[in-house]
Amino acid sequence: MKKFLKYTGKFLLLFFIGVSAYYAYSIHEAREYTQRVVSPDFEKAQWRHPSGTLKKFEMFNNDLSKKQREILLKVQDPKFYAHNGIDLSTPGAGLTTITQAIVKKLYFDNFKSGVAKIKQTLIERFVVNDMILKDDQLTIFVNTMYFGNVNGRPIVGLESAANAYYGQSAIKLTEEQYISLIAMIVMPKTFHIIDHPEWNKDRTNRIKALISGKYKPKGLMDQFYGKLPQEVIDNGLPKASYFDDALKPADKKSNLSNKANAADAKSRAAD
């Protein structure tokens, strides 16, 4: 028994050292890649997928109006300018910050949760947070966001989305149109403006309630601002992105408002 515990202890120690070395090297490699590729690309107003595909920036963060920026941050990352890349406490923020989102785009060819999630967290905290200014992170984000497909073509970037769905530049969108695009980011296929207009409208209404202060998120994972209609949940919503328990005890007034929003969305879609 003593020998077993001895060898087990040695194995665990070696395993810990090996894992630590792997992640330390991952951080070093990411910092080197940032200096060699990511930062020079930014200076050229472009971003690069790890596969090598280059794409020019279509807009910069300061092209957004003050209101558009406020809406984007309120929905996607309320404490963006205050946190170090990680935020696991702000109600309604969900599990992915803007920093985390761009790490997936710039440093992973094919991101899969698990080991990659740990690596992603370390890169966002010790590489991107340290080496890329917040305003620059936001510019990368608005150019790398995915907005579903239109006629089989993937729509990437806020400016491309504004043109694909509304035929005009993002800065010229009405507030309603802009919010409908922001509504897609969390789940582009589920809240697709063309394929699921009623669900997009429902989420747009929920975001408007959030912005006005009529709805206050009840916990970290309350990123859909109340209980979702069952058909939306059944449409492939990832389990990790939605927890009913985060909404308990239920707020009757909020639930009634959410049902009204859903009914209004269906009514408008029918029109």
Shared domain for 128 and 228, answered yes or no, is no
Shared domain for 135 and 224, answered yes or no, is no
Cβ neighbors of 19 (< 8 A, separation 6 or more) are: none
Question: For residue 130, what is the domain's CATH number?
Answer: 1.10.3810
pLDDT for residue 256: 41
Structural domain includes residue 265:
yes
In order, the DSSP letters of 53-113 are -EEE-S--GGGS-HHHHHHHHHHH-TTTTTSSS--SSSTT--S--HHHHHHHHHH-SS--S
Structural domain includes residue 152:
no
Q: Whose structure tokens read 């200014």?
A: 133
In order, the DSSP letters of 201-259 are HHHHHHHHHHHHTS----STT-TTSSPPPHHHHTTT--GGG--GGGGPSP-HHHHHHHH
Shared domain for 118 and 230, answered yes or no, is no
- 198-212 CB burial, b ≥16 within 10 A, e <16: bbbbbbbbbbbbbbe
Q: What is the pLDDT along the chain (271 residues), one digit of tens a residue?
A: 666 566 666 667 776 787 788 889 999 999 999 999 999 999 999 999 999 999 999 999 999 999 999 999 999 999 999 999 999 999 999 989 999 999 999 999 888 877 788 999 999 999 999 999 999 999 999 999 999 999 999 999 999 999 999 999 999 999 999 999 999 999 999 999 999 999 999 999 999 999 999 999 999 999 999 999 889 988 877 766 666 655 664 444 444 444 444 434 333 333 3
pLDDT for residue 20: 82
Number of domains in the chain: 2
pLDDT for residue 141: 98
* Alpha carbon distance 255, 89 (integer Å): 23
Q: Give this prediction's pTM.
A: 0.84
Structural domain includes residue 4:
yes
Shared domain for 59 and 132, answered yes or no, is yes
Residue closest to 101 by CA, chosen among 81, 78, 124:
124
Shared domain for 201 and 130, answered yes or no, is no
* Alpha carbon distance 265, 141 (integer Å): 28
Q: CB atoms < 10 A from the CB of 104, how many?
A: 16
Shared domain for 222 and 137, answered yes or no, is no
pLDDT for residue 233: 87
Q: Where in the sequence is the domain holding 22, given as residue range(s)?
A: 1-146
Shared domain for 99 and 188, answered yes or no, is no
Shared domain for 189 and 141, answered yes or no, is no
Tokens of 77: 């990352």
